[in-house]
Structure 1
Amino acid sequence: MSSLEATYANHIETLQRRTAEALARAGLDKLIIHSGQTKRQFLDDMDYPFKVNPHFKAWLPVVDNPNCWLVVDGVSKPKLIFYRPDDFWHLVPEEPHQFWVESFELVLLSQADQVFRHLPRDMANMAYIGEYVEVAEALSIGHFNPDAVLSYLHYHRAYKTDYELLCMREANRIAVKGHEAARQAFLDGDSEFDIHLSYLEAVGHAEHELPYGNIIGLNQNAAILHYMHQQHTAPKEHLSFLIDAGATYNGYAADITRTHCYRGHGTFAELLAAMNELERGLVARVKPGQSYVDLHIDAHRRIAALLNAFGIVEMEPEQMLSEGLSRTFFPHGLGHSIGLQVHDVGGFMADDRGTHVSAPDEHPFLRMTRKIETRQVVTIEPGLYFIDSLLEKLKATKHGDAVNWKLIDALRPYGGIRIEDNVIVHQSGPENLTRDLGLN
């Protein structure tokens, strides 16, 4: 028996308990969970790549089959209505036979619009969980994505089962292979597009199978936080390379970022090495009871200290933090929860009733305000960038004279630095999924 198979039964038991409690709180009988539907491109006869409902793939690793349904009540064996059309245009999924199938009462569906034949007759006190509310209305399901149910499930989804942790370790293993291949392609002088192709080949994913579009920026493009263009022509000189790219396994995501440069690139290479150690120091602080907001602010404090130590900004780190100067160089949040989705749900929740905890006004792009607890998986991704538009705004302030603009101009062509690891929270300390696989 594989480790996945051995842990899957307990995973289903956990989901059953969560479902039973969510239903009890909402006074509902069952959840009807829809895998989703294909979406037709406007004025075309082609569909967009299918993306499965994360609530569906939480139960089973079926990520590529629309028109499937789960009927769950937290007590009875979950019912899986699995779509297998009579179709000669497209590949028809095999009848399920994998390790997970015994956990479900399996029903095969040949026509999507006949699903009502396999659903409960009276669904007035049941809740549809999915994107296509108009389908739920047509089926006479009584409730649609009720807040009480979603709040409970989203909050508890942050606590990963052993099965989920195994999947996330494997997703990281796959992604690390891609990052190693991409780094070599950079060193070989390839274009952004060719580096992207090297990554895809190494991870064995088609583009639509990636958890998000690869960010692959050479030189100054590394200063564009969500750079997605992938130039086909290599620049005359390779100064720096930032890659933010992940992988998936059984529906779970990895999200890893690294920045590279050639040896001998002086101040930028030293700054990159310092940022690498800074990120390691932040990961070491990931422990139960730690405030993620405080960890984010500590990242700003450490980055401010680097800016001062390298002579980029002549100001004491604490003053830099209080005046907001560090946000010019580190404008995004420290990281986020990760799992079934890259930016997973529940990051702003104080409890399982949905009490919202907003990001601080001075850090509006922070994606997690929740206290760190065991079995959570978070990313830690500090950054230090030289972004023209933000630097121009800083230059126009009263603090512009504190900046070494000559040094800034020397560093602009390198774009910036971001380093990101995926971290499991344990009582005994953090487990760095990414670095434990040998990616430095």
Structure 2
Amino acid sequence: MSLYLDHLAALQRQAESALERTGFDMLLIASGIEKFAFLDDRPYLFQPNPHFKHWLPLTKHPHCWLAVRPGKKPRVVYFQPDDYWHVPPSAPSGEWVDAVELIVIREPETAAQALADLVTSRTAILGEADAALPGLTPNNPELLLNLLHWARGVKTPYELEQMRAAQRRAVPAHRAARQAFMAGASEAEIHRAYLAASGHTDRDLPYGNIVGLNEHAAVLHYQYQDASPPAEVRSFLIDAGAEVNGYASDITRTWAARGHDEFAALIAAMEVEQLGLVDEVREGVDYRDIHLSAHRRIARVLRRAGIVAMDEEAMVEEGVTKPFFPHGIGHLLGLQVHDVGGFMAAEDGSVADKPEGHRYLRLTRPLQAGMVVTIEPGLYFIPMLLRELRASKHAAQVDWAVVERLSRYGGIRIEDDVACRAAGEAPENLTRDAFASA
């Protein structure tokens, strides 16, 4: 069997098990609908239900439905309107077509008729409320969703191939962005260089690119792009990914301009620690421990760089690393950039708590072979957090002259996407492998 057909068979098994355990007889998944701006006829960018694109590589297809029945082929209701205002979806094609029972419809409302012979009072319907049609109202059963979300944390070989491809699509764009930065381009020009090299547009990126020069790198989710470069270009942070068949990559790199050796040395020190954290991605490891390890490693960087003169363990225990590293070490990655199921302690939906005082961590469950996670330590000079540190009892342990000098660079984040392998095996660094092969 092909990787995709194998993937489809695995999803069928998971769905049948979830249906049996929750007392439902069928699973119905809406792709979602096209939505429009308030008091306008301009559509928002369509975002498919991730449960739908888990089964089918259809990411630009509103008003479609998927029916999963035990022991039978999935039924796909494929919306292909007659339209001369816009380009409609092309005729169904690809490996998935022969694996399903296909019904093509021209009007969204006829989906209800195409599914009427299957739907019962024991049908689980997954989707947003606005996807409802007569007789097809999403009920999103919590226990069934928990079972599916828990299983989705572990990727099939097909999914891993899509995610490797998403890395390969992003890496040339990261290299193009760096070249534009070194040539003195503005944030907007760097962003355009990234789009051109990736083949993406703003409409189909997996998330909005973060492109920050100098102090803008201290804004974790910096959302703007200046059209003109600053008078002096010192540093550059880019957090940008790519998408293949609904699967995302999520990569961050930080660069120093030529002649800014102190900041370049700080980046190099962070890269050493980042690679050490990547090596901690092992089956059975509690991801929360990797997050706490990141704080210990950042404490080491802060001490060695002369930024904070404290014992490293004391720095972590007293929370002194938090103003410099205020976010989590990473998250699950897959059909969604911040993929679901990160806080689950078990498939029943029970919650694995975040470490006390670390509220922004997005993944708290133990690692399993087949999971893909991001490892993205950061070291930032964020004015509001530095003000709080300056007002604390630890202020005297900080070399504020060094902080002021480094604040001109904003901060550092280095992010790789990493696949956890079976016990005893080293992790697969999807990002570094793609850079190495580019």
- Matched letter for residue 299 of structure 2: A
Aligned to 1:128: 125
Aligned to 2:275: 280
Which shifted more, 395-404 or 88-97? 88-97
Aligned to 1:193: 188
Q: 294, 297, 302: which one pairs with 2:297?
A: 302
Q: Does 1:269 align with 2:264?
A: yes
Aligned to 2:59: 63
Distance 1:8 1:271 in 2: 43
Distance 1:209 1:141 in 2: 29
Aligned to 1:87: 83
Distance 2:178 2:155 in 1: 31
Tell whether the 8 Å contact from 2:207 to 2:240 is kept in structure 1 after alignment: yes
Aligned to 1:438: 435
Aligned to 1:327: 322
Q: Deviations over 1:277-335 (max 9, x none)?
A: 11001101111011100010000001001111111001000000000000010000000
* Deviation for aligned residue 1:28: 0.4
Aligned to 2:10: 14
Distance 1:336 1:278 in 2: 18
Are the structure 2 counterparts of residues 208 and 287 from structure 1 closer, same or farther at C-alpha, using a change threshold of 3 Å? same
Q: Does 1:223 align with 2:191?
A: no
Which shifted more, 122-131 or 23-32? 122-131
Q: 407, 410, 419: which one pairs with 1:412?
A: 407
Q: Deviations over 1:345-396 (max 9, x none)?
A: 0111111111111212310000000101100000000000000000000000
Report runs of 4+ in structure 1 exceeding 3 Å deviation.
Answer: none
Distance 1:226 1:105 in 2: 43
Aligned to 2:385: 390
Aligned to 2:36: 40
Distance 1:386 1:311 in 2: 14
What's the % identity of the aligned pairs?
Answer: 49
Q: Does 1:425 align with 2:420?
A: yes
Tell whether the 8 Å contact from 2:381 to 2:411 is kept in structure 1 after alignment: yes
Q: Deviations over 1:250-276 (max 9, x none)?
A: 000000000001243132111100001
Q: Does 1:106 align with 2:106?
A: no
* Deviation for aligned residue 1:139: 2.5
- Matched letter for residue 358 of structure 2: H
Normalising to structure 2: TM-score of the pair? 0.97
Q: Does 1:365 align with 2:360?
A: yes
Distance 2:137 2:176 in 1: 50
RMSD: 1.3
Aligned to 1:238: 233
Gaps of 5+ in 1: none
* Deviation for aligned residue 1:140: 2.4
SS of the aligned residue for 1:12 comes to helix
Q: Does 1:76 align with 2:72?
A: yes
Tell whether the 8 Å contact from 2:30 to 2:131 is kept in structure 1 after alignment: no
Distance 1:72 1:220 in 2: 50
Normalising to structure 1: TM-score of the pair? 0.97
Distance 1:97 1:315 in 2: 62
SS of the aligned residue for 1:328 comes to coil
Aligned to 2:202: 207
* Deviation for aligned residue 1:143: 6.0
Query: How many residues are treated as equivalent by the alignment?
Result: 434
- Matched letter for residue 288 of structure 2: V
Q: Does 1:343 align with 2:350?
A: no
- Matched letter for residue 85 of structure 1: P
Distance 1:128 1:313 in 2: 54
SS of the aligned residue for 2:322 comes to helix
Tell whether the 8 Å contact from 1:175 to 1:246 is kept in structure 2 after alignment: yes
Which shifted more, 202-211 or 140-149? 140-149
Gaps of 5+ in 2: none
Which shifted more, 116-125 or 423-432? 116-125
- Matched letter for residue 435 of structure 1: R
Distance 2:385 2:20 in 1: 50
Q: Deviations over 1:40-84 (max 9, x none)?
A: 111111110101110000001000010000010242100000001
Tell whether the 8 Å contact from 2:234 to 2:256 is kept in structure 1 after alignment: yes
* Deviation for aligned residue 1:97: 1.7
SS of the aligned residue for 2:250 comes to strand
- Matched letter for residue 80 of structure 1: V
SS of the aligned residue for 1:77 comes to coil
Are the structure 2 counterparts of residues 234 and 142 from structure 1 closer, same or farther at C-alpha, using a change threshold of 3 Å? closer
Distance 1:388 1:52 in 2: 38
Distance 2:234 2:120 in 1: 61
